[in-house]
Amino acid sequence: MTEAKLDLGKLSVSASPHIRCDESIAKIMWMVNLALAPAALFSIYRFGWSSLTIMVLCIVAAVVTEYAIQKWQGKPVTINDGSAFLTGLLLAMNIPSTLPWYMPVFGSIVAIAIAKHTMGGLGFNIFNPALVGRAVLLASWPVAMTKWPTMTSQIDGMTSATPLGILKLQGYEKLVEVFGDKMTMYKSLFLGSRSGSMGETAAILLILGGVFLIYRGYIKWQVPVVMIGTVGVLTAVFGQDPIMHMMSGGLILGAFFMATDMVTIPITVKGQVVFAAGAGALTVLIRLLGGYPEGVCYAILLMNAVTPLIDLGFKPRKFGARR
């Protein structure tokens, strides 16, 4: 018989179950960061080193802010879990690469300090922190936030407007004209040869990352499909070019990476479908009738606000519920 080594004092005594799966918050958050990596790297290739600088500024500011707040409040420091890193990276993806250094830093501080920690930290925030950061930047520096970098490739002419900006101010014909023809426009939107925020341009890379997250089970396919689908259907109904709308602006980035932010969206798949449809509809409303050319950011933030209501209305079906 092997010698029994048992230290009763070290025995863990707790409620069942006594085994856990391998998932953790850190694993999920780093996986989402990884899923964003292709689009992030592409933005460096597209927009140059300034893009990398902005990314580093956003991430460092977010992580340092989280560290400082947790230290100050005497809470456990959780900067290694990848969530502050993700907020910084997502904010960077949502802003132009031409901003002066203090703007992204400010945006990250707002995102982490106000949107996340005044609510109680991870898990308690109502609004997506990165989108709050972006919204505050857009309200604070509207000019800088809507000035886009010159592209270095085939569509050199577009220096100061995104496709949706051209659409809003000059119309659809002008937009097609800028790209040459419709097919070139679709191809450019799909492959990322267009101006825009750092991380939103390459539809294909964002979809790639999103599919990875769906495969891993971290996000539900219904969310991006319903949100992008709603935009497609509604723009078609209102006589717009649905393919162009579905691939423009921050829709793909938002639908795969922000409308799927588990903390701020409904908890059931049914609720998430409602959320995604609402976000898609609000996006179209803002794009077609609002003052801004793009509406994904505000659409998601508005839907974040009604998430608790959706949760109340869309609970799962209870086993044995009397019909």
Partner 1 sequence: MARSFRGGVHPDDQKRFTAAKAIEAAPLPEKVVIPTRQHIGAPCTPLVKVGDLVKKGQIIAQADAFVASPVHASISGKVAAIGEYPHPVFGSCPAVVIESDGLDEWAEGLPLNRDWNALESDEIKEIIRQAGIVGMGGATFPTHVKLAPPKEKTIDVFILNGAECEPYLTADHRVMLEWADRVIKGMLITMKLLSVKEGYIGIEENKPDAISVMRQASQGTGITVTPLQTKYPQGAEKTLIKVVANREVPSGGLPMDVGVVVQNVGTMVAVADAVEKGIPLIERVTTVTGGAVAEPKNLLLRVGTTFVKAIELAGGFKEEPAKLIMGGPMMGMAQCSIEVPVIKGTSGILALSASEINAGEERPCIRCGRCVEACPMGLVPSMLSILGERGLFAAAKEKYDLLDCVECGSCVYTCPAKRNIVHYVKLSKAQNAAMAAKK
320 is a contact residue toward partner 1 (CB under 8 A): yes
User: Residues 142-171 vs partner 1: string with x where CB under 8 A?
Assistant: ------------------------------
For the chain, the C-alpha Rg in angstroms (whole number) is 22
Count other C-beta atoms under 10 Å from residue 261's C-beta.
Answer: 23
Residues in the chain, how many?
Answer: 323
96: phi > 0 → left, psi -120 to 50 → alpha, else beta; which? beta
Helix, strand, coil content of the chain in percent (nearest 5): 65, 0, 35
319 is a contact residue toward partner 1 (CB under 8 A): yes
Judged by CB under 8 A, the stretch of 44-52, 119-127, 163-171, 293-301 that binds partner 1 is 119-127
139 is a contact residue toward partner 1 (CB under 8 A): no
Q: Please provide the distance, in angstroms rounded to a whole number, between the alpha carbons at the two ends of the chain.
A: 59
Judged by CB under 8 A, the stretch of 17-25, 97-105, 147-155, 195-203 that binds partner 1 is 17-25
Separation between Cα atoms, residue 295 and residue 255, nearest integer Å: 12
HSE, side-chain direction, 13 A CA sphere, residue 250: 28
322 is a contact residue toward partner 1 (CB under 8 A): yes
Separation between Cα atoms, residue 62 and residue 55, nearest integer Å: 11
Closest approach of partner 1 to the CB of residue 9, in Å: 10
74 is a contact residue toward partner 1 (CB under 8 A): no
User: Residues 198-217 vs partner 1: string with x where CB under 8 A?
Assistant: --------------------
What sign does the dihedral 190-261-31-226 (CA atoms) show?
negative
Region 220-279 residues binding partner 1, contact defined as CB under 8 A = 262-263, 265, 267-269
Separation between Cα atoms, residue 185 and residue 181, nearest integer Å: 6
21 is a contact residue toward partner 1 (CB under 8 A): yes
* 292, amino acid identity: Y
Judged by CB under 8 A, the stretch of 1-9, 53-61, 98-106, 170-178 that binds partner 1 is 1-9
Phi, psi of 61 (to 5 degrees): -60, -40
5 is a contact residue toward partner 1 (CB under 8 A): yes
Question: Which residue, 83 or 248, has its beta carbon nearer to partner 1?
Answer: 83
2 is a contact residue toward partner 1 (CB under 8 A): yes
Question: Which residue, 183 or 305, has its beta carbon nearer to partner 1?
Answer: 305
In the list 49, 74, 156, 317, the residue contacting partner 1 (rule: CB under 8 A) is: 317
Closest approach of partner 1 to the CB of residue 195, in Å: 34
Phi, psi of 148 (to 5 degrees): -110, 150
Question: Which residue, 13 or 143, has its beta carbon nearer to partner 1?
Answer: 13
Contact 194, 160 (CB under 8 A): no
Total residues contacting partner 1 (rule CB under 8 A)? Answer: 48
Question: Which residue, 110 or 219, has its beta carbon nearer to partner 1?
Answer: 219
Q: Which of 105, 79, 90 is nearest to 40 (CA)?
A: 90
Q: Which residues bind partner 1 (CB under 8 A)?
A: 1-8, 10-25, 27-28, 78, 81, 120-124, 218, 262-263, 265, 267-269, 315-322
